[in-house]
Structure 1
Amino acid sequence: MFGDYLETTCGCVIGGAGPAGMGLLFNALKSGTLSELARGGLIIVDASANPGAGRLGDYRITANSVGDVILDCLRDPALQPVFAPLEQSPAYWRIRHQAQHAPQLSDIGALLAEASRLVLDFIVQRYGAKLWSSTTITEVIREDDEFFVWVQAQGRTRRIRCSTLILNLGGRQDPQHMVRGLAQQGLSLSGSATLHSADELLRMNAVQLREIFAPALACAGRITLVGGSHSAFSMLENLADALEFAGLQEITLIHRSAIRLFYESAELATAAGYTFDPYNDVCPVSGRVNRSGGLRYRALDIGRAVIEHRRVGKTGVRVKAFQTQGGAPGDFEAAAQALLESHSVVQCMGYQANLPVMSHPDGTPITLREVKGGVDSDSAGCPVDTTGLRLHGLHMFGLGSGLGIDPRLGSEPSFDGRIYGVWQFHNDASRAVIESVIARLQQAAAPEPVPSRSLAERLEKGLPFLFPGLTNAKT
């Protein structure tokens, strides 16, 4: 015991047991590397009383992957004994019955929560891992080659000392991030505009959305969405469905670059009449068009309707879409005017990572450098701070962090964001992190080399001297 807190030492801490943190544990279990992760002690810390799925299941939208992609995360001989109880899961069967269609995120969240509980119970019993639920990480101090992770649970403070820290605590949307992003393009908002986060709105039902936007509808105020990703088009559909009968006639969409659609192949894109760059928009590994940045499934349908008909799906709600960079003549000026006229503006762009206070031992804060789409990190999720220092031993790849494009994994050359996704968390993204963490743990566990003594030193101390070739000789 040190003062009023307890200190625990272990090799690895996993901060956050949501889709990213659990994806890593699933991957380690099925790849046979979990024993290496847990050898020096493994502690899983999560703020929820029921760790597993994060807030994924709260969203009232469809996924941007088909159900079979999610089920693929659970398919592996090493996982079969663990997941046997899922045969009784209603969420599992709902997704299995629509394996080639995009399921609701609520079903995916429910299934991953059930699967995660099974995995957590298994690794606690089999590998001696510790699960600290209802525990919040409040501060991380990086000292020399170690991390001191301060946590709080039920009013009690503890400190964990570890050599590797995997930190995925979810993401958030900061309205000021949108304001700064618009300002960099020479765009600004009206001082009276009400700002909303799509991350929060996409969790609301129709009644809640009508209540939120009642003031805008009452004065026929302009409602503007900023962004061009999956969430922006999901938001378009949710607002149109909820507000059309309440009087909504038009929504404005402002997006920086062209609306991109996903297709499994160049042939399918061409057959659909979609125009794309055969080099910049095609992944050289998979042959898919706009593999990383394209709208998929339901969002793709909404995107096509916006492009072709300027309407939201089959509703009567019109869409005025303006592209601020490389768009049609007059688009930028129209976007600037729309923003100034907007009563309500919805942020559908950019997540920032939820982070605890981070500092050096002397109290100097650690600020992580950000790039478009998340934290600036290498292929193993090790971030770099604003001074250019790479924080080896710290790994982040979840929402608000993401991973940059790795040529070995593939992506279209035109994509300049960060990669997220449940399947990525369970496969490519976490694989590189696992390899890096194990290498570091093995290095930390290696015994320190014993310095050799010269013959004179050994004779002076009365120690025997053996020639190296005779040290293991039998007498």
Structure 2
Amino acid sequence: MTKLRNLAKTTAAAGRINARPSPVARLLIVGGGPAGTALLTAAAKAGTLADLSKGLVLVDRSDTLGSGRLGNYAITSDTTAQTFLTAIENTSEPSLAALADHSAAAAVGDWRDKLGVPLATVGPYLSATGERLATLVSGYGGKVLKGHDALKATRATDGTWTIRLRCRSDDHEFDIRAENLVIATGGHQPLDRLVEQRVAGERLTRRVGEKLLQSDEVLTLGGLDRVADLLSGKRSPRVAVIGGSTSALTTVGLLLRSRPGIPFGAGGVTLLHRRPLRPFYPSVEAAHAEGFSDFGAEDICPVTGFVYRLGGFRLEARELVLRMLGIDGRAPDPRVRLHRIDEDEGQALDILDRADLVIAALGYRPRALPLQDASGQAIPLAADCGDPMVDDLCRIVDADGSPIPNLYGIGLAAGFVPSGALGGEASFRGQTNGLWFWQNDIGRLIVDAVLADEKKAIAA
């Protein structure tokens, strides 16, 4: 650790970058959770992990890489067991492939061909792969800093970044300079956004007051117990879930599966949503075989042929949607009702007023690292205004929508939308979140960009 600090430390005074030269890393990744380590997985799949590791610094605040907060959720994944296991099955790194014999991989494998994997089971597996990737990076000449917070990043006039880090064990602060910076710090549900949220023209917090929870509070371990406590004593409780995302459907599914069961009667759980709910299908033929035809050419991915590849619900959430829509003879759950907010706003407000509990499942916003320019002024980002953090090349964009050179983002709530050769339906509106995308197409975009810049520098 002392050697690394002596190598990478630069002196800072009054928040400014010291002009004194210091070694520069090629790439610094802030965040070693599922998204940050997905870059390493993508490189391992492509056979470029050794090249990427040279000049790489990976920083994470925890003492274990790979899982982030994912194992803290009391729900199943919207990713299959087979997809999780491709990280170690489709790799050029023998030591990574050897994890197939690890107990954590076997535990995930037990859920093959089922509707997702409990995230409590996924967490240890991602930790095992994350730690193995960290060992590989270190062996190839890279640096892994666990137990460190990234406090801010400053862009110098020459385009390099200086990242201020703090060791959590002793509060020592130091700087590392890097040519490229990746922010993979995950997402959250900020309270300030909730304060401004309106439903049917009414400010949500003012309308429902203390009845309001956010979905993240419900989906984490122990969250359902809290819901049960809040509804205890209600003979026929009523809950309104607001949102049309996977987290909203997952919240509904969790409420219905509660043990011991919350005594919901008919219509006890109402999902308030704005956009139509669409199921994913692997092909047009598969959709037609179940009598589902509510899609057009713009809803079909031109690369894979999937119907609602990006916008469609998958696995457990998909099954709930299929039931509620009565697809292929499925019977809706009488405890659940759907309500399109824009079709009757007055009724939407009545549902909120009559609910014993309101759960806002309105998605996540990125935890963007504070950024500033060489003069110490904050760099405003598009994400600060609620827009996507990144463009279609994973470059973080400023408030004017322009990409910031040598700055990339990946992970939950980054706002990436595939296009062109990456596929996706033209009708999709939203953002793409998913470990497979991060470990493949999205991760490769960043890895290839960083390695391409290195090749240009060598050629010059």
Q: Bin the TM-score by the shorter chain.
A: 0.7 to 0.9
Q: SS at the partner of 1:391?
A: strand
- Which residue does 1:66 correspond to in 2? 80
State the one-letter code of the partner of 1:294. G
State the one-letter code of the partner of 2:189. Q
Shift of 1:231: 1.6
Where does 1:287-298 land on structure 2 (aligned, <5 Å)? 287-298=305-316
Tell me, yes or no, if structure 1 residue 192 matches structure 2 residue 209: yes
For residue 226 of structure 1, the aligned residue among 242, 251, 254 is: 242
- Report the TM-score, using the length of structure 2 for normalisation: 0.86
The separation in 2 between residues aligned to 1:29 and 1:90, in whole angstroms, is: 22
Tell me, yes or no, if structure 1 residue 105 matches structure 2 residue 119: yes
Tell me, yes or no, if structure 1 residue 11 matches structure 2 residue 26: yes
Alpha carbons of 1:264 and 1:246: their partners in 2 closer, same or farther (altered >3 Å)?
A: closer
The separation in 1 between residues aligned to 2:369 and 2:426, in whole angstroms, is: 34
- Which residue does 1:209 correspond to in 2? 224
Q: SS at the partner of 1:11?
A: strand
For residue 324 of structure 2, the aligned residue among 263, 282, 306 is: 306
- Which residue does 2:6 correspond to in 1? none
Alpha carbons of 1:96 and 1:21: their partners in 2 closer, same or farther (altered >3 Å)?
A: same
Shift of 1:98: 3.5
- Report the TM-score, using the length of structure 1 for normalisation: 0.84
- Which residue does 2:280 correspond to in 1? 262
- Which residue does 2:60 correspond to in 1? 46
The separation in 1 between residues aligned to 2:255 and 2:374, in whole angstroms, is: 48
For residue 279 of structure 1, the aligned residue among 297, 312, 315 is: 297
Contact 2:241–2:269 at 8 Å: present in 1 too? yes
For residue 2 of structure 1, the aligned residue among 11, 16, 39 is: 11
State the one-letter code of the partner of 1:282. I
Where does 1:386-425 land on structure 2 (aligned, <5 Å)? 386-425=399-438
The separation in 1 between residues aligned to 2:150 and 2:87, in whole angstroms, is: 28
Q: SS at the partner of 2:323?
A: helix
Q: SS at the partner of 2:198?
A: helix
Contact 2:324–2:332 at 8 Å: present in 1 too? no
Where does 1:41-440 land on structure 2 (aligned, <5 Å)? 41-76=55-90, 78-87=92-101, 89-101=102-114, 102-125=116-139, 127-144=140-157, 145-153=159-167, 154=169, 155-178=171-194, 180-182=196-198, 186-189=201-204, 190-205=207-222, 208-218=223-233, 222-242=238-258, 245-249=261-265, 250-308=268-326, 318-325=335-342, 327=343, 331-370=344-383, 375-440=388-453
The separation in 2 between residues aligned to 1:211 and 1:341, in whole angstroms, is: 20
Shift of 1:275: 3.3
The separation in 2 between residues aligned to 1:259 and 1:188, in whole angstroms, is: 24
- Report sequence identity in percent: 27
Shift of 1:121: 0.7
Contact 1:376–1:383 at 8 Å: present in 2 too? yes
The separation in 1 between residues aligned to 2:94 and 2:384, in whole angstroms, is: 39
> Where does structure 1 lack aligned partners over 5 or more consecutive residues?
448-475
> Where does structure 2 lack aligned partners over 5 or more consecutive residues?
1-9
Contact 1:379–1:432 at 8 Å: present in 2 too? no
Contact 2:30–2:36 at 8 Å: present in 1 too? yes
Q: SS at the partner of 2:117?
A: coil
Contact 1:11–1:38 at 8 Å: present in 2 too? no
- Which residue does 1:456 correspond to in 2? none
Contact 2:104–2:128 at 8 Å: present in 1 too? no
Alpha carbons of 1:341 and 1:141: their partners in 2 closer, same or farther (altered >3 Å)?
A: farther
Q: SS at the partner of 2:74?
A: coil
Q: SS at the partner of 2:399?
A: coil
- Which residue does 1:457 correspond to in 2? none
Q: SS at the partner of 2:424?
A: coil
**Aligned positions, number:** 434
The separation in 2 between residues aligned to 1:132 and 1:256, in whole angstroms, is: 43
Alpha carbons of 1:278 and 1:253: their partners in 2 closer, same or farther (altered >3 Å)?
A: same
Contact 2:24–2:179 at 8 Å: present in 1 too? no
The separation in 2 between residues aligned to 1:118 and 1:344, in whole angstroms, is: 43
Contact 2:165–2:173 at 8 Å: present in 1 too? yes
Deviations 1:184-212 (A, max 9, x none): x624321524332222321224xx52334
Alpha carbons of 1:191 and 1:84: their partners in 2 closer, same or farther (altered >3 Å)?
A: closer
Shift of 1:415: 0.9
Q: SS at the partner of 2:161?
A: strand
The separation in 2 between residues aligned to 1:62 and 1:421, in whole angstroms, is: 13
Alpha carbons of 1:10 and 1:300: their partners in 2 closer, same or farther (altered >3 Å)?
A: same
Q: SS at the partner of 1:14?
A: strand
Alpha carbons of 1:146 and 1:77: their partners in 2 closer, same or farther (altered >3 Å)?
A: closer
Contact 1:14–1:45 at 8 Å: present in 2 too? yes
Shift of 1:215: 3.3
Tell me whether 402-411 or 424-433 shows the greater mean CA deviation: 402-411
Contact 2:366–2:389 at 8 Å: present in 1 too? no
State the one-letter code of the partner of 1:78. S
State the one-letter code of the partner of 1:412. E
Contact 1:13–1:45 at 8 Å: present in 2 too? yes
Alpha carbons of 1:346 and 1:186: their partners in 2 closer, same or farther (altered >3 Å)?
A: same
Shift of 1:139: 0.7
Alpha carbons of 1:211 and 1:350: their partners in 2 closer, same or farther (altered >3 Å)?
A: closer
Tell me whether 405-414 or 342-351 shows the greater mean CA deviation: 342-351
The separation in 1 between residues aligned to 2:88 and 2:396, in whole angstroms, is: 29
Q: SS at the partner of 2:264?
A: coil
The separation in 2 between residues aligned to 1:157 and 1:213, in whole angstroms, is: 44
The separation in 2 between residues aligned to 1:147 and 1:230, in whole angstroms, is: 36
State the one-letter code of the partner of 1:72. T
The separation in 2 between residues aligned to 1:217 and 1:306, in whole angstroms, is: 27
Q: SS at the partner of 1:141?
A: strand
State the one-letter code of the partner of 2:70. L
Tell me whether 331-340 or 47-56 shows the greater mean CA deviation: 331-340
